[in-house]
Structure 1
Amino acid sequence: MKAVVQRVRRASVTVDGEVIGEIGPGLLVLVCAEQGDAEANADRLLAKLLKLRIFGDESGKMNRSVQDVAGGLLLVSQFTLAADVTGGNRPSFTGAAAPAEGRRLYDHLVARARLAHPVVQTGRFAADMQVALINDGPVTIPMAF
């Protein structure tokens, strides 16, 4: 799985004019399941997200996790993270998991996150979403599992 993690002051997802997911301080995570991914990939990603020390401590040093600061998680599916642009100017998404498999793995990640963390919001799989955020830092970290 691929993910882009952004430390945010707040973030939201809107579909058809309705806000469907919203957090205050925490992590906005754009997530992509790729061909060959399994639940274990999602589980490793979640474990890293919950422990990633990218929030400031009392000295301002990035030393606290989203759990330490009681921040929110906003998990948003984004198959375009699998884009391959090496063959031309039009991205190829053949590396992304098939839609049914991508949905299954995204749903698995969300379900596990909700068991492990008190504030989990989501986008809507395969929807045309508008994502708004105030990036904090900015801190943006790409991940692959």
Structure 2
Amino acid sequence: MQLDSNQIAEILPHRYPFALVDRITDGEEGSWARGRLCVSNMSPVFCGHFPQYHVLPGVLIVEALAQVAAVAMLSLPENRGKLGFFASIKDAKFRKQVRPGDVLELESRIVKTRRSFAFVEAEARVDGEVACTATLTLALGSADEA
């Protein structure tokens, strides 16, 4: 599976400034996906985090990992048109600062599904070094179920 930003926008509802995945570079529908976020100093988040020392907030790294997992799950024909909501974030660890100019490599693996839930092991890397790991749970549903 390889998707550009326009193809990702057909799967995910996220739009600027919250569309955090620039490209899906590999993956298998319903199983795993690998994506990329090119961190730019033009991102509006850096107006306030931190103006004198730009660092991508950890919550946005975790959100990007969840968006990659959602692409894997929502690519399945039976999940088309659904939304992926956070049900839980566990064991998030931040090991490296992510700064403008970095390319954040994102990988999310679906380790189990049960009913409308996907259980995910996720990892983000910069230049081969682990920047973040987390265990995520996504609840798949529609806007009227929220």
Same-fold status (TM-score > 0.5):
no
Higher relative contact order (CA 8 A, sep 6+): 1
Q: TM-score, with normalisation over the residues of structure 1?
A: 0.29
